[in-house]
Amino acid sequence: MTGTVISGQNRLEVVHSLMIIKLLEESGFVSLPAIEVSQSPVEKFREYLMSRTKAQRFTEQQKQLVEHIFSQHHHFDADQLIDNLKEAKNSISRATIYRTLSKLVDAGLIRRIDLGERSVYEHDYGYPHHEHLVCQTCGKMIEFQHSMVETILREICELHQFQSSGHTLLIRGTCLECNRARTTKRRFDLI
């Protein structure tokens, strides 16, 4: 959702507020509401490329990729993104996709989450800090925030006089639906 605001100097400023994110439990994804940011992801990425020691060109394909990634909020891996783009008849090469993904991580626009056997990406820019529960049966990722987690981690860092630059908390296990399905199956097996 992009709104237009005209400032005192009649300068056009685009206030980019990322999609309002609803709870999408039925599609296996639970997410948090987005936070408002003053720059669009495309603008932020352009700024990042310009700020490199050797300024990098912002290609049309990279722009399309950033727009595509930020048009929907979900956790995705590189292969899903490649398939997705193929479906949309977009012929961005695999190499460009991988290269751009790592630049987007570096630019602070997306975050890479290491799930062990694979890595997934999600929006970092314009999205609040959160933790994840990952179902090892169906792959569902549930996002959550809890002030106690933050408090405890801060206390631990203080105790060790450790200067934190961020943390990742990932809880692996089985989601409610998969757990239910497993119990039902077990019951059937007993009959």
Q: Which helix (H) or strand (E) holds 16?
A: strand 12-16
77 vs 134: CA distance, rounded Å: 14
22 vs 139: CA distance, rounded Å: 20
76 binds Zn ion (CB under 5 A): no
Structure token digits, residue 30:
């639970």
- Cβ neighbours of residue 20 under 8 Å, at least 6 residues apart? 1, 33, 34
43 binds Zn ion (CB under 5 A): no
Query: 117 by DSSP, 3-state: which?
Result: coil
Nearer to Zn ion, 103 or 140 (CB): 140
Q: Minimal distance in Å, beta carbon 67 to Zn ion? A: 20
Q: Minimal distance in Å, beta carbon 120 to Zn ion? A: 9
Q: In the range 161-190, which residues lie near Zn ion by CB under 5 A?
A: 175, 178
Nearer to Zn ion, 115 or 178 (CB): 178
Size of the site for Zn ion (CB under 5 A): 8
Binding segment toward Zn ion, per CB under 5 A, in 18-26, 50-58, 131-139, 161-169: 131-139
Pick one of 23, 50, 88, 138: the residue that binds Zn ion (CB under 5 A).
Answer: 138
142 binds Zn ion (CB under 5 A): no
122 binds Zn ion (CB under 5 A): yes
Distances (CA, A) of 92 to 1, 29, 52, 165: 25, 27, 23, 34
How many CB atoms lie under 10 A from the CB of residue 9?
7
Pick one of 38, 93, 137, 164: the residue that binds Zn ion (CB under 5 A).
Answer: 137
Question: Which residues form the interface with Zn ion (CB under 5 A)?
Answer: 122, 135, 137-138, 140, 143, 175, 178
